[in-house]
Structure 1
Amino acid sequence: MSDLRRKALGSGKTVSRKAQSRASSAASSRANSRTTSRAGSRAASRAGTDDEGGDLSDETNFRYDIKKSKKNYPNSKNFVPSLGSVDELATLDDDDETSKGWQEELGDRMMEITERKKSSFAGREEAFAAYIRILSAKYAKEEIYSKKTDLIDSMVRSIKNGRTEKEGILAAKALAITIITDPTEDLFHKLQTTLCRQITDNASLPLKSLLIHTLGATTFYGGAALSETEEIMNFLLEIIESDGHSVGAGDDEGVVTAALEEWGSLCTQLEDAEAITSSSIDALVDQLDSSEISVQIAAGENIALLYEKSYTLAEEDELDDPNEHKKFIQRYVPYPRHDNLLESLQRLSSGSKKHLSKRNKKTQHSAFADILHSVENPLKGPRYSEALDKNDRVRGSRMTVRVHSKGVLRVDRWWKLHRLQFLRRVLQGGFLNHWVENPVIFESLRYDAETVAVVGTRGRLWI
Structure 2
Amino acid sequence: MHDLRKKALLESGKTQSRKARSKPDAPRSTGHLSPNESPGNSRPGSTANSRAGSRANSRPGSRYASEDEGAASDSEVDDVMTMSTNSASGEDALDGGDASNTWVERLQGRLVELQDRKRSLQSRESTLVSYLHLLRHHFTQRQIDKSVSDILPALLRSIRSGTSEEERSTAIKALTVTILTAPSETVYDHVFATLKAACEEAEEESIKVEAIHALGIAVTCGGGSASAAEEMLDFLIEIIESDGQAVGAGDNGAVVTAALQAWAFVASHMDDLVEQSENAMEVFMEQLDSTDPEVQTSAGSNIALLFEAARDYEEETGEKVNLQYNQHRIMNRMAEIVRDSSKAVSKKDRKHLRSNFSSIVTSLERGKGPGYSTAGRGASNPHTGGSKMDQGGGHDGEFQEFGYREKIRIHNQFMVIDTWSLHARVELLKLLLGGGLVTHWMENPTVRDILDSASVEYLASTSERKRW
Checking the alignment, whether the CA contact within 8 Å between 1:9 and 1:242 is kept in structure 2 is no
TM-score between the two structures when normalised by the length of structure 2: 0.77
Matched residue type, 1:43: S
Deviations 1:17-52 (A, max 9, x none): xxxxxxxxxxxxxxxxxxxxx986663675989841
Matched residue type, 1:252: N
Which residue in the other structure is 2:400 paired with? 393
Q: Does 1:346 align with 2:358?
A: no
SS in 2 for 1:251: coil
Deviation at residue 8 of structure 1 after TM alignment: 2.5
Deviation at residue 97 of structure 1 after TM alignment: 4.2
Matched residue type, 2:403: G
Which residue in the other structure is 1:254 paired with? 254
Q: Which deviates the most, 130-139 or 387-396? A: 387-396
SS in 2 for 1:442: helix
Distance 1:441 1:457, change over 3 A: farther
Which residue in the other structure is 1:17 paired with? none
Checking the alignment, whether the CA contact within 8 Å between 2:304 and 2:420 is kept in structure 1 is yes
Distance 1:457 1:123 in 2: 50
Which residue in the other structure is 2:58 paired with? 43
Checking the alignment, whether the CA contact within 8 Å between 1:9 and 1:241 is kept in structure 2 is no
Distance 1:452 1:380, change over 3 A: closer
Q: Which runs of structure 2 are paired with 1:43-122 in the superposition (5 Å)? A: 43=58, 51-53=72-74, 56-57=77-78, 59=80, 83-90=81-88, 92=91, 97=99, 101-116=102-117, 118-122=118-122
Distance 2:79 2:347 in 1: 19
Which residue in the other structure is 1:295 paired with? 295
Which runs of 5 or more structure 2 residues have no equivalent in the other structure?
1-8, 24-52, 93-97, 380-398
Distance 1:198 1:164 in 2: 13
Checking the alignment, whether the CA contact within 8 Å between 1:349 and 1:369 is kept in structure 2 is no
Q: Which runs of structure 2 are paired with 1:234-273 in the superposition (5 Å)? A: 234-273=234-273
Distance 1:58 1:453, change over 3 A: closer
Deviation at residue 445 of structure 1 after TM alignment: 1.2
Distance 2:328 2:60 in 1: 37
Checking the alignment, whether the CA contact within 8 Å between 1:55 and 1:399 is kept in structure 2 is no
Distance 1:39 1:416 in 2: 24
Deviations 1:264-316 (A, max 9, x none): 11110112111111121111100000010111111110001001110127779
> Which of 360, 364, 371 is the matching residue for 1:375?
364
SS in 2 for 1:147: helix
Checking the alignment, whether the CA contact within 8 Å between 1:351 and 1:364 is kept in structure 2 is no
Which residue in the other structure is 1:413 paired with? 419
SS in 1 for 2:19: coil
Distance 1:357 1:9, change over 3 A: closer
> Which of 423, 437, 441 is the matching residue for 1:431?
437
Distance 2:319 2:412 in 1: 36
SS in 2 for 1:200: helix
Distance 1:278 1:368, change over 3 A: same
Q: Which runs of structure 2 are paired with 1:217-236 in the superposition (5 Å)? A: 217-236=217-236
SS in 1 for 2:322: coil
Distance 1:47 1:40, change over 3 A: closer
Distance 2:420 2:378 in 1: 27
Deviations 1:308-347 (A, max 9, x none): 110127779x9xxxxxxxxxx6721323354432221122
Distance 2:246 2:314 in 1: 40
Matched residue type, 1:397: Y
Q: Runs in 1 of length 4+ with deviation above 6 angstroms?
A: 47-50, 313-316, 457-460
Which runs of 5 or more structure 1 residues have no equivalent in the other structure?
12-37, 60-82, 319-328
Distance 1:332 1:97 in 2: 58
Matched residue type, 2:58: A
SS in 2 for 1:271: coil
Checking the alignment, whether the CA contact within 8 Å between 1:239 and 1:256 is kept in structure 2 is yes
Deviations 1:353-410 (A, max 9, x none): 3121111111111011111222233x2111112234333233321222222x321211
% identical aligned pairs? 31
Distance 1:203 1:134 in 2: 28
Number of aligned positions between the proteins = 393
Find the structure with the greater CA-based Rg: 2
Q: Which deviates the most, 84-93 or 391-400? A: 84-93
Distance 1:46 1:89 in 2: 18
Checking the alignment, whether the CA contact within 8 Å between 2:59 and 2:431 is kept in structure 1 is no
Which residue in the other structure is 2:389 paired with? none
Distance 1:213 1:339, change over 3 A: same
Distance 1:360 1:55 in 2: 20
SS in 1 for 2:373: strand
Distance 1:150 1:270 in 2: 32
Distance 1:39 1:149, change over 3 A: farther
SS in 2 for 1:356: coil
SS in 1 for 2:220: helix
Deviation at residue 422 of structure 1 after TM alignment: 1.5
Distance 1:358 1:330, change over 3 A: farther
Checking the alignment, whether the CA contact within 8 Å between 1:56 and 1:399 is kept in structure 2 is no
Distance 2:284 2:190 in 1: 30
Q: Does 1:312 align with 2:312?
A: yes
Deviation at residue 57 of structure 1 after TM alignment: 2.2
Distance 2:319 2:55 in 1: 40
Checking the alignment, whether the CA contact within 8 Å between 1:349 and 1:366 is kept in structure 2 is no
Deviations 1:37-89 (A, max 9, x none): x9866636759898414693263xxxxxxxxxxxxxxxxxxxxxxx4332454
Distance 1:298 1:58, change over 3 A: farther
Deviation at residue 455 of structure 1 after TM alignment: 5.4
Deviation at residue 251 of structure 1 after TM alignment: 0.6
Which residue in the other structure is 1:440 paired with? 446
Deviation at residue 348 of structure 1 after TM alignment: 2.6
Distance 1:313 1:389, change over 3 A: farther
Q: Which deviates the most, 127-136 or 49-58? A: 49-58
Checking the alignment, whether the CA contact within 8 Å between 1:57 and 1:85 is kept in structure 2 is no
Distance 1:193 1:141 in 2: 25
SS in 2 for 1:289: coil
